[in-house]
Amino acid sequence: MEQIDPRAEFEGGNDALAQGRAGDAVAHYRRALSVAPDVVEIHHNLTAALAQLQCLDEAADIARQGLAWRPDYAPLHVALANILSQGDGTESARKHYGKALRQEPELASAWSGMAGLLMAEGFYEKALEHYRKALLLNPKNIVCINNLAICQLNLGRHHEALALYRDLVMLDPNLGSSHNNLGQVLQGLGRHDEAVMAFRRALALDQSIDNLAPFLMQSLMYQCAWDDLDQIKQKVLDETSRRLQHNLPITVQPFSLAGTDASPDLRLAAARSYAGHCAAAVIPLRDRLAFRHGPAQTGPLRIGYVSPDFRQHSVATAFKDLIACHDRAGFEWFGYVIGGEPRDQLTEYFRAQFTHFADFKDQDLAQSARHIHKDRLDLLVDLSGFTRHSALELLTLRPAPVQAHYLGYGATLGADCVQYLLTDAVHTPPELAPYCAEALVYLPDSFMATSRPEIDPQPPDRRSQGLPEEATVFANFNAHYKFDPETFDLWLGLLRQLPGSVLWLLRGGDVATANLRARALTRGIDAERLVFAPRATHSRHLARQSLADLSLDCRHHTGGVSTLDALWSGLPVISMAGDNQSARTGASILHAAGLGDLAVGSMQEYCELALHLAHDPVALKSLKARLRRNMNTAPLFDTPRLARHLEAAYGEMVRRDRAGEAVGSFAAAQVV
């Protein structure tokens, strides 16, 4: 009978494992264990090999057998905890990491493992402390540095995360994932030119990185770099469809699909997938918190709004008059600000406007959820959707009995934890309703909130802004990522047919400006007929907009607050109602402004209407006069009216919940 040498088998297993042959390694370790069952190091390495093969239950059994021989062997506690943390054994994993640290306080893998649990549950500050301890013990651990950067990002510390990713690139310049992560942080800081360079470098090093194409797509859109954008967009859509078909997590954020040709069914499926992925990370925490909601209370309804944007942000700009107009007798209003973005004077404004206001900047996910649950809300309204610093994980914990989405994203979230989506019949017509996971609450006018802005009383003259005195001035002050080449070519076509006319745009990055000017030149338009406006204060920006003749909306991703700004400036907007909600916001706004005739159905109608108004100054003057009159009468500009409609909708949602009725779509009562 063959004599088994446990040491030789152990070394053979180690060699096989190092070469990536986990199956061979398992065979070696099993033979070693058959004659040396009390050697815990063999249990440890066999556990690792089985884990690589995804034989997690068997790996956990081997680890437990080893710990029965040596309960004080810290690395095996870590190995077992790593396995348990991949399933629903979070609490057991925590205990084993703790045992490892008590036995061996200098074990970096135990610190990083515990940090991973904390990070997954949203305890970013505590996770950050643990990762730092792990890095003190193992300074060049790439995974730890990467996760530390993720914690910093979730805490709103983008520049700290940027420094960490630059460190990663220095540690291993040939690691494509590090360049990809660096690009993502640069993108988040709005440094798209640098981000594209990082993404291109990542692509050159590793074309298999899952989420590279969606992020590259987004920064190329900001740059108006359209040469290979269509191919990249199609790659993103094809990969998203493939992943959905195979029930794999998608790699594109649903918000990024707004500027693409994604079909409504693909958008819904992507939203469901992304929301499910976000929820999965916090389901163990949700189950531990196990919030219960008490019986109906008497007195005013308790309504909460949660947002990362109670600060200088487009959502806050639209929302600030709405909260001031809400009824204080029949309702108590709770405001919750999340995310790590800097607070400012507008934050303090909201603090004063809400009946109760809480800032969760320094609280982890569980603390935030407990605070909301303790407030005994009847309804929690999310204002962020899939935008940055989304509240989706917080909503997954179900701190309120009824949860709805409004305003900030405006389309389906595909999330089980959100029962209602507030919309209107133009934004979500009947043909789009089947592509929303939530019950739809139709507001009588537009879902869009608007706040009467301050406008400088003395507008500048055209010459000071680099605009022609007499010729037609078209304007579009949306962010450049909303532009697309076909619509931009249409705008250039208008300039071609109107001698001396100009297109007035916001100044973006240098590359975007150069690309747009180059596009004009290739279409036979003098690049000087694109006029780029520098950034200005909101009140000065609104004053200068009145110098334009007509605003031209984007196509795939129409303007929201930018459209409202134009209207408040007295500037009519032509928009096209598309086949999804992101392409219909402009139409919704115009209908509620009494300007539904400016929301057209095709590119041809768009072009014809723009030319008609440019050629007919009397018609344009009449249109501007109508807009001015409508500011005193149209529903869009009547914020108290919107407040009453929302309150009626909130009351009906709560009534249905209290009565035990099924969640279902309804039209909110019109209140005069």
Tell me, yes or no, whether 27 and 145 share the same domain: yes
In the chain, what is the greatest distance between 2 CA atoms, to the nearest angstrom?
105
Question: What is the total count of domains within the chain?
Answer: 3
pLDDT for 669 = 85
pLDDT tens per residue across span 319-370: 999 999 999 999 999 999 998 888 999 999 999 999 999 999 888 899 999 9
Q: pLDDT band at residue 307, thresholds of 50, 70 and 90?
A: very high
Q: Indicate whether 183 pLDDT > 80.
A: yes
Tell me, yes or no, whether 424 and 500 share the same domain: no
Q: What is the CATH number of the domain that holds 441?
A: 3.40.50.11380
Tell me, yes or no, whether 154 and 67 share the same domain: yes
Q: Are strands 403-405 and 530-533 parallel, antiparallel or unpaired?
A: unpaired
Tell me, yes or no, whether 495 and 536 share the same domain: yes
CA distance 614 to 434: 39
Q: pLDDT band at residue 1, thresholds of 50, 70 and 90?
A: very low
Q: pLDDT band at residue 485, thresholds of 50, 70 and 90?
A: very high
In a domain, 672, yes or no: no
Domain that holds residue 157: 6-211
253-275: string of b/e by CB count within 10 Å (b at 16+)?
Answer: bbbbbbbbebebebbbbbbbbbb
Q: What is the CATH number of the domain that holds 159?
A: 1.25.40.10
Q: Indicate whether 672 pLDDT > 70.
A: no
Q: Indicate whether 21 pLDDT > 50.
A: yes
pLDDT for 87 = 75
Contact 639, 449 (CB under 8 A): yes
Tell me, yes or no, whether 375 and 469 share the same domain: no
In a domain, 227, yes or no: no
Could you give the angle at the alpha carbon of 271 between the alpha carbons of 309 and 336, nearest 5°?
Answer: 25
Instruction: Average the pLDDT over 542-559 and give the result.
Output: 97
pLDDT for 2 = 64
Tell me, yes or no, whether 411 and 436 share the same domain: yes
**From residue 128, how far is each of 99, 132, 224 by CA, in Å?**
20, 6, 37
Q: Say what the alpha-carbon torsion angle 647, 648, 653, 659 is, to the nearest 10 degrees.
A: 120
Q: Which residues contact 270 (CB under 8 A, 6 or more apart)?
A: 240, 244, 250, 252, 254, 257, 262, 414
Q: pLDDT band at residue 281, thresholds of 50, 70 and 90?
A: confident
Instruction: Average the pLDDT over 280-286 and give the result.
Output: 90
> Across all residues in the chain, what is the average pLDDT?
94
Question: Among 172, 195, 211, where does a domain finish?
Answer: 211
Closest CA to 446 of 551, 579, 596: 596
3-state secondary structure of 124: helix
In a domain, 657, yes or no: no
Q: For tokens 């919107």, what's the residue?
A: 642
CA distance 517 to 240: 33
Question: Among 404, 428, 451, where does a domain finish?
Answer: 451
Tell me, yes or no, whether 495 and 442 share the same domain: no
Q: Is 224 left (phi over 0), alpha (psi -120 to 50) or beta?
A: left
> Hey, which residues does 564 pair with through a beta bridge?
none
Q: By percentage, how much of the chain surpasses pLDDT 70?
A: 100
The values of phi and psi at residue 177, to 5°, are: -60, -30
In a domain, 262, yes or no: no
Closest CA to 448 of 289, 645, 625, 313: 645
In a domain, 327, yes or no: yes
pLDDT tens per residue across span 24-82: 999 999 999 989 999 999 999 999 999 999 999 999 999 999 999 999 999 999 999 99
CA distance 670 to 202: 54
Instruction: Average the pLDDT over 606-618 and give the result.
Output: 97
Q: How far apart are the first and last CA of the chain?
A: 95
Q: For tokens 């595909």, what's the residue?
A: 414
Q: By percentage, how much of the chain surpasses pLDDT 90?
A: 89
Closest CA to 403 of 418, 415, 414: 418
Tell me, yes or no, whether 53 and 189 share the same domain: yes
Tell me, yes or no, whether 621 and 557 share the same domain: yes
Q: What is the CATH number of the domain that holds 523?
A: 3.40.50.2000
Q: Which residues contact 312 (CB under 8 A, 6 or more apart)?
A: 344, 346
Instruction: Average the pLDDT over 272-288 and give the result.
Output: 92
CA distance 183 to 193: 10
In a domain, 647, yes or no: no
Tell me, yes or no, whether 472 and 400 share the same domain: no
Instruction: Average the pLDDT over 11-22 and give the result.
Output: 91
In a domain, 433, yes or no: yes
Contact 169, 178 (CB under 8 A): yes
3-state secondary structure of 52: helix
- Quick one: DSSP state of residue 461? P
Instruction: Average the pLDDT over 286-294 and give the result.
Output: 94
Tell me, yes or no, whether 394 and 335 share the same domain: yes
Tell me, yes or no, whether 435 and 467 share the same domain: no
pLDDT for 634 = 97
CA distance 468 to 485: 25
Tokens at 433, concatenated:
């309703």
In a domain, 129, yes or no: yes
Q: pLDDT band at residue 89, thresholds of 50, 70 and 90?
A: confident
Contact 551, 566 (CB under 8 A): yes
3-state secondary structure of 452: coil
Q: Indicate whether 86 pLDDT > 90.
A: no
Q: Indicate whether 232 pLDDT > 80.
A: yes
Beta-carbon count within 10 A of 175 CB: 16
Q: Which residues contact 264 (CB under 8 A, 6 or more apart)?
A: 432, 435, 579, 580
Could you give the angle at the alpha carbon of 278 between the alpha carbons of 276 and 280, nearest 5°?
Answer: 65
3-state secondary structure of 248: coil
Q: Which residues contact 560 (CB under 8 A, 6 or more apart)?
A: 314, 318, 410, 448, 585, 589
Tokens at 39, concatenated:
């050697």
Question: Among 451, 473, 503, where does a domain finish?
Answer: 451
